[in-house]
A and B are shown apart, each in its own frame.
Chain A
Amino acid sequence: MGLSKRVIPCLDVTGGRVVKGINFVGLRDAGDPVEIARRYDQQGADELCFLDITASSDERGLIVHVIEDVAAQVFIPLTVGGGVRSIDDVRSLLNAGADKVSINTAAVLNPKLVEEAAARFGSQCIVVAVDARRVAGSSPMRWEVFTHGGRKSTGIDALEWGRRMQQAGAGEILLTSMDRDGTKEGFDLELTRAFSDALDVPIIASGGVGDVEDFVDGVAKGGADALLAASVFHYGELTVADVKKRLADSGIEVRT
């Protein structure tokens, strides 16, 4: 009896289309964001995360239309991130129907942005995405913040950064392990645990999920409040329902 742990599929969007292998059977249009969002909703997704990976600036506006279309038909929370640079970007995504906007690189370049966005729109809709990488040989273990999709090191201590962003008004932290992202070796549980213990806002664990046990570990060992994954869902290796069943069998509360 209480708050359930959330399972969040993440969709990569570019040019208004969902990309990466979509293995849903019987989709009329394999890259249609609305159809895919609806499928995840039917599987029991607690929330959806859209990551705008559009490189060219002239196509950036398309994510707004994607969110408008999805929000008109899928009635669960939507988080949108990728390329959010200004208060205007945050506003246009919220107006399109996003419930939360995730700020990553721009927060490092301009920490005031998070403060301003939280003051203007409320902490409940401001997520700060932290891409963290282990600092080799550090003891106790430390992590460093990376930006620009994990390509640029910043020299900033990740945990310190998380605390600072909470202070600035972030309502939630989307925490991605750059060491684990794409490896299928599971979440970086030490990283997740360190953030969950140090911060008072919810932590979404991301990066590295390979199988259903990784989700259980993310909560049981990492202390995550929510679990995000992309490829295991997109490639049809797991459904959200599979994950929730396994979580429930392990005694973790989920929405069924």
Chain B
Amino acid sequence: MATIAVVDYGMGNLRSVAKALEHVAPECSVVVTSDGRDIADADRIVFPGQGAMPDCMRELDARGLREPIIVASQEKPFLGLCIGLQMLFDHSEEGDIHGLGLLPGRVKRFPPERMRDESGNKLKVPHMGWNQVFQNRPHAMWQGIEDGSRFYFVHSFYVDVADPELVAGTTHYPFAFTSAVTRNNIFAVQFHPEKSQSAGLKLLSNFVRWDGSSDISKDKAFGTANV
């Protein structure tokens, strides 16, 4: 039985993530774990995150999970969620701290002076609710999800990627920001698929079946590309 490890480093509730995975993959074993050996043994990794990034980094290190996460991120299908996306990057303005540095880019706060829509209405921070995700490229993770589908977001910081090649999805609030990134076997999203109803469940279902390849033409699980 394939195993999916949901990494638990004490930052918030992972029940919804685990339940959503069990819902789309009843054939898999879903383990919520803070044990590096489980992460090493699992076939797939889900790396969530809630709250403030400095706390997340501190708790991750306190449990000795930095190394297991870095290793896993290089060798098997790896899904980052919310702060779990932000932590993959070099640096965050939140607490002015370093992330894991697995992907190039910096996490920034939504700048108050830019938070107006085209009619001049104030846009609130946190960016909370359902917004559209536009797919920048075909990818096995987008299979069967309509371009521009809405997903549920809750965050006050976003990632400014240093390499445009990483961008898999874009959202507007009010400017375009990167809401999904990918490289090799890593896919990470700023939104919460576990709370995004059918589109979110589809993404999780794609993850459970993804072979971790970035080249969709070679992805035998789906046959044809999603464009």
Contacts and interface: CB of A to CB of B under 8 A. Distances in A.
Chain A binding surface SS class: loop
Interface of A: 1-6, 41, 46, 68, 71-73, 75-77, 94-99, 121-125, 171-172, 196-197, 199-203, 223, 225-226, 255
Contact of B129 (A4, A41, A223): A4
Chain B interface size band reads 35 or more
Chain B binding surface SS class: mixed
Interface string B160-197: 00000000000011100000000000000000101111
Given A41-B197, A75-B200, A226-B129, A3 B121 contact: no
A255 B195 contact: no
A75 B195 contact: yes
Given A1-B132, A200-B112, A97 B19 contact: yes
B15 interface: yes
Contact of B16 (A99, A199, A225): A99
B50 A77 contact: no
B87 to A, nearest CB: 14
B121 to A, nearest CB: 7
B197 A124 contact: no
Contacts of A203: 124
A95 B17 CA distance: 12
Count chain A CB atoms within 10 A of each CB in B117, B197, B201 and give the residue with the most: B197
A75 B197 contact: yes
Contact of A201 (B125, B150, B192, B197): B125
Contact of B195 (A77, A196, A202): A77
B213 interface: no
Given A3-B127, A41-B197, A75 B132 contact: no
B214 interface: no
B155 interface: yes
B25 interface: no
Count chain A CB atoms within 10 A of each CB in B23, B115, B117, B152 and give the residue with the most: B152
B128 A171 contact: yes
A71 B197 CA distance: 12
Given A4-B131, A197-B122, 8 more contacts: A94-B12, A97-B19, A121-B50, A122-B51, A124-B154, A172-B128, A200-B125, A203-B124
A1 B130 CA distance: 11
A75 B23 contact: yes
Interface in B81-101: none
A202 B153 CA distance: 13
A75 B20 contact: yes
B122 A200 contact: yes
A225 B124 contact: yes
B124 A77 contact: no
B147 to A, nearest CB: 12
Interface string B16-47: 10011001000000000000000000000000
B130 A255 contact: yes
Contacts of A200: 112, 115, 122, 124-125
**Which 8 A-B pairs give the minimum distances between C-beta atoms?**
A122-B51, A255-B130, A124-B154, A202-B124, A255-B150, A94-B13, A3-B131, A72-B19
Contacts of B152: 76-77
B170 to A, nearest CB: 11
A64 B138 CA distance: 41
A201 B194 contact: no
Contacts of A98: 13
B70 interface: no
Contacts of A4: 129-131, 150
B52 interface: yes
A77 B125 CA distance: 18
B197 A76 contact: yes
